[in-house]
Structure 1
């Protein structure tokens, strides 16, 4: 298994050491914190390495709070808007 650091669009990922037999996804920590995301195996090689040029943006769009708590408060193209900008309320 690949337990080394991997990156996806500047997001630091590391596979969590556990048994993934019979599971449809693998669990990764974000930025070496307690925050984690599950990435489906269809986007990974058998050893847990991300397939290059495979689009997994939707996984991180669902994990906005985890990204923020892991220290990613800046915008990431296709995944996250800037959370530090105050936008006027649409009344």
Structure 2
């Protein structure tokens, strides 16, 4: 499993260590905080690495509050406006 830091449009993501057998998504922390988001496995490789050039904007649009609490206050194109 890839527990290293990964970036998506300036958001730091890290896979949480847990058993994902039988799950349809994997859980990632945002900016090394307690805030987290579930990313469906269809956007990931088998080891949890985000597929290059994959569009995850819809996932982060639904988690605006988590992004704000994780310290992402600057605008991100396609995801959020400045808060």
TM-score by length of 2: 0.99
Pairwise CA distance, 1:8: 0.2
Pairwise CA distance, 1:49: 0.1
**Runs of at least 4 residues off by over 4 Å:** none
Q: Give distance in 2, aligned partners of 1:24 and 1:80.
A: 26
Q: CA RMSD in A?
A: 0.3
Q: Is there any run of 5+ residues in structure 2 with no aligned partner, and where?
A: none
Task: Give 1 or 2 for the bigger CA radius of gyration.
Answer: 1
Structure scoring higher RCO (CA < 8 A, sep ≥ 6) equals: 2
| Corresponding residue pairs, total | 83
Pairwise CA distance, 1:40: 0.2
Pairwise CA distance, 1:72: 0.3
